[in-house]
Chains A and B, each alone.
Chain A
């Protein structure tokens, strides 16, 4: 294969005789972009680590596998042979730039370290190159950025510094390992566009590793779809996404297209709102002496009618999860009022009565944390029955039918949480929250810890239940498409304030506020 920059043949990555990556083969031409797509545990990041020679200790590449870079075979285990290539011919940008940058060194010093290693002249020359690189990644004030420590930079700025560092030697191959997954949607879009422009300018090839089909469709010429360590399908981007042949790829693609078909909406009544929040405020106390308290919720007013779904859309730090905690009394607001089922909570010092708790339930983001590891599913589900006084002789039947509602069989009752997958645990949490037949369900980022295919299964189950039971929902999320799919109306939160709210369809198609427009612009286009 002449003219290929990187060629991978029958790549097996093995730990204790078990294959994490199984017979992966693909090739990458100079200047080309290949996207490795897969959900968590698909082996896509292991493939990248093998190419860089950065496999964790104990994990090895099989003898039959071959990684050929620029005509020469690579041996990931050979540290002395790999080291000269790293940062010079092959560079990498990792996920989660906050933990991937050294917290003890300034951004400039970390880029300088890469330059020094490349033998890049004396101090003044390197200094000029640092500023040049920071300009290349489109930073407005390179000198200031260079003097900052990572924790003083925003997530987007951190990832730009990582990118500048990776491009210091103008490598032939840039591996981008989920470079935007840890970032907010608007920042994600900026970084993706930046990677594209940089590639046009520098002509590097790119191996783009992601779980996000839309992002892959924006950047990649070729797509390799991975599932449980194997490659299930590969080919040109448009071909794979528009006419997927493998069932798994089809499912992946359909989770995106499913978002385009909205679910049937439950009938909404114009009766008195179940929940009416007015001018709500909350401040986190100062963490250290002499520092200011942080205002997480700053004068929020929203209302939810019976049967309605209100989406709260916001990026990290917007205060949306704090809002959920305030409503169910996990924290006491500093000002404003919450009227729950027509009763003012301020009048009762924001303590909910058991009768209110029965009618207002919450589901949390992290399904691993929401179930006590020492209780079986049955014991965990009995807890609300006992505490809310719903316990009766037919408890077991009640739990069984609650599980059936979320497509789980009654034999799950005897299991412990660690025996369940993330999606199953979240289903159990939904079933548990619905046991008291609440009229208002608060969903705090309930699918963001799950893989895309599982996300849609859980959401579909939830929406079907809502259709059947007619409860209202406060659906908190950061993914504009998912929030749009679930909600009737949307309130957009930014820095503790609601910047815009309205009918879901209208808000997404005709955003008014600048911030909402930015969010909508960052929304992934329909694929291919």
Chain B
């Protein structure tokens, strides 16, 4: 019962989080100087009357709060409105962009977290200075080198000078760059955590029982480090969002990131709103799953 309650609490908190982010985005979009009508007015030479007419048609003359309520009630039915610049339903554009981003994000996440786990576990198991050095290196790399700089370097070296890979469209380079960045952000804490975990009293008990190193690692060390591993994986997700933005622009991937950015430049706020909503819901969803997993793994939290 207690366990169920705590899971429900985690879900509820996730929902409130997502709602707050969506509301924040909505109001930020509305306070931004110059709306889409102004932008179109400058570009296409709409007359003042046409502008007023367009605002009325879009509901922009309504009070902010009622605009928000209208938007939410539509969004809950899957209707995110129409793009102001492309005259397409936003949901269609999202549906086209989502698979690109999901594939990219999943591959980068798997590569990054996998690499981090592998390195941290190997460094702990073999107590290798060389691997610890590598971990420090990747960590500093991820802090100091912006991903888009790494992207430029990769394009310059592999595509332009060596002529190996296509500059745009391919997933290999962006996945490696973002994966490395992700790994670097979490691998050091992971290594520290494992280093502490092997010194835990209950791991010493396991050794005193004469268990094999494998058994000790799988049944005693890894479970102790699992909560932190989960938390760190959640942290890596944040890096993924920023990564999607830069990599999709740099490598011309038609995903959520490029969609959002184009929308920001064009003041195409239905798309901004919808894209941020999708990102926020996805992040909150995954964080909630991580939270729940944590509660399920650790019997002390039940």
Contacts and interface: CB of A to CB of B under 8 A. Distances in A.
Verify whether A and B have any Cβ pair under 8 Å.
yes
B219 interface: yes
Contact of A102 (B2, B202, B207, B210): B202
A54 B204 contact: yes
Which 5 pairs between the two chains have the least Cβ-Cβ distance? A87-B210, A86-B210, A104-B223, A87-B209, A99-B201
B297 A87 contact: no
Interface of B: 2, 5-6, 9, 127, 199-202, 204-212, 215, 219-220, 223-224, 297-300
Nearest to A148: B299
B214 to A, nearest CB: 12
Given A113-B219, A117-B210, A149-B300, A102 B5 contact: no
Given A101-B205, A104-B224, A151-B300, A288 B6 contact: yes
B202 A101 contact: yes
A233 to B, nearest CB: 29
Contacts of A268: none
Contacts of A491: none
B127 A94 contact: no
A298 B6 CA distance: 29
Interface of A: 52, 54, 56-57, 83-88, 91-92, 94, 96, 99-105, 113-114, 117, 149, 151, 162, 165-166, 288-291
A86 B207 contact: yes
Contacts of B298: 103-104
Nearest to A169: B210
Contact of B127 (A57, A100, A162): A57
Contacts of B223: 102, 104
Contact of B201 (A86, A94, A166): A94
B204 A94 contact: yes
Nearest to A162: B205
Given A85-B210, A290-B2, A103 B205 contact: no
Contacts of B2: 290-291
Nearest to B202: A102
Nearest to A103: B300
Contacts of A83: 210, 212
A164 B194 CA distance: 29
A4 B229 CA distance: 48
Given A54-B207, A117-B211, A289-B9, 13 more contacts: A56-B199, A87-B208, A94-B201, A100-B204, A102-B206, A102-B219, A103-B224, A103-B298, A105-B219, A113-B215, A149-B299, A289-B6, A291-B2
Contact of B220 (A88, A99, A102): A102
B210 A103 contact: no
B5 A290 contact: yes
A116 B127 CA distance: 28
A6 to B, nearest CB: 16
